[in-house]
Amino acid sequence: MKIDTGNTGFMLLCTSLVMLMTPGLAFFYGGLVGRKSVLTIMMQSFVSMAWTTVLWFTFGYSMCFSGDIGGIIGNFDMAFLKGVDLMAPSPTDSIPLIVHVAYQMMFAVITPALITGAFANRITFKGYMWFLTGWLVLVYFPFVHMVWGGGILQKWGVLDFAGGIVVHNIAGMAALASVIFVGRRRIADNVPHSIPLVALGTGLLWFGWYGFNAGSEFKVDSVTASAFLNTDIAASFAATVWLILDIIITGKPKFVVLLVGSVAGLATVTPAAGYISPASAALIGITAGIVCYGAVALKNRFKLDDALDVWGVHGVGGMLGTILVGVFATLKFNPLGGSGLVDGGGGTLLGKQVAAVLLSSIWAFVFTWVMLWAINKITPVRVSETDEEGLDESLHGESAYPELG
């Protein structure tokens, strides 16, 4: 294997950008919750950086990218990164295996952290650690293998450029199962305690998303540039549409609305970013702004206490974007991709994308529900009513704002 230093340097940069998204998510979620529980939800993101890395090194990467068992999961041949040395070849051309390990690890870190916004203010730390471990093993690792690691969905021809299925859809469906299992908050807390923190988190997420999407080409070429541009276009159109809809309904342009709308656009374009034209990215952004906004409204109507709208933004966004790959994918912008409806490819790709969404949605929901039920038999998943009044002090003995009491 001939290592391309330019591609390797680019992928190290993208790995750093994706790593930055997890602290960005911590700020984003931290600003949205109440001031007495901000450290709790931020810690859930940061502890994923540490513990997920341990699992990834121990057996996670191997389960995702080594061997194949029934098209569902890998094996343990590369446990403890066995065989990963300076010259080991990567599954992709021109970069060392060690860089591929690091880049994919950052995806593994942020995906379960996304779910935490759904059950904000309700989960014990011990329960979360069990959840984090079990969910990675039973849900995330299998879908990485099935979609990107040579598993059944990849062989079937399902396209997911940067994680519409692997990251956003399964995280969103897990969030929905978690909300239903854990139940509503006893203490209503729907007002962000720090909108500037939300803005900071959104900025870091948006910035890091270029590494998330453009980096998923694993080299520098025209597809990389296209994915980069498509990411920004979709986020911008979704944010604008979400803001307009909210102005029509509430009469005022709200900053948080603009920020959340941009994240919906980012999540929705993720599976399609490297397969579509910029014009299609704009259409995906518009569609995301409408559909994800409607999903959040539907959630509110059914009184599902998804505190930070993980299902409506990430679950529905990832689902929608994955399906729209079957509509907008074109060989003109990625000769190695596929042909959707607008490219004259008929409905074959669209059918595969829909089937993959159904499989991933059902798998993530069921496994998450059963896992939470099993964890609850070992240790309580939900905090007590007294603890819920302020998780930072009750669970961690710390306070983000001790001067405020």
Tell me how far apart the alpha carbons of residues 65 and 101 are, in angstroms, rounded to a whole number: 9
pLDDT in tens, 40-70: 999 999 999 999 999 999 999 999 999 999 9
CA distances from 182 to 78, 208, 306, 359 (A): 36, 31, 10, 24
pLDDT in tens, 183-221: 998 877 778 999 999 999 999 999 999 999 999 999 999
Specify the pLDDT at position 385: 87
pLDDT in tens, 358-387: 999 999 999 999 999 999 999 999 999 888
Tell me how far apart the alpha carbons of residues 286 and 277 are, in angstroms, rounded to a whole number: 14
pLDDT value at 1 more than 70: no
Task: Report the chain's mean pLDDT, rounded to a whole number.
Answer: 96
Task: State the DSSP code for 346.
Answer: T
What pTM does this model have?
Answer: 0.97
Tell me how far apart the alpha carbons of residues 2 and 198 are, in angstroms, rounded to a whole number: 43
The closest of 36, 20, 4 to 194, measured between CA atoms, is 36
The closest of 72, 51, 214 to 138, measured between CA atoms, is 72
Would you list the DSSP string of 215-283?
GGGSS-SHHHHHHHHHHHHHHHHHHHHHHHHHHHHHSS--HHHHHHHHHHHHHHHTTTTTTS-HHHHHH
In the chain, the domains with their CATH numbers are: 5-381 (1.10.3430.10)
What number of other Cβ atoms are within 10 A of residue 244's Cβ?
Answer: 16
Q: Mean per-residue pLDDT for 163-190?
A: 93
**And the tokens for 371?**
């896992």
Q: Mean per-residue pLDDT for 131-156?
A: 98
Hey, what's the torsion of the CAs at 14, 17, 18, 20, to 10 degrees?
A: 160
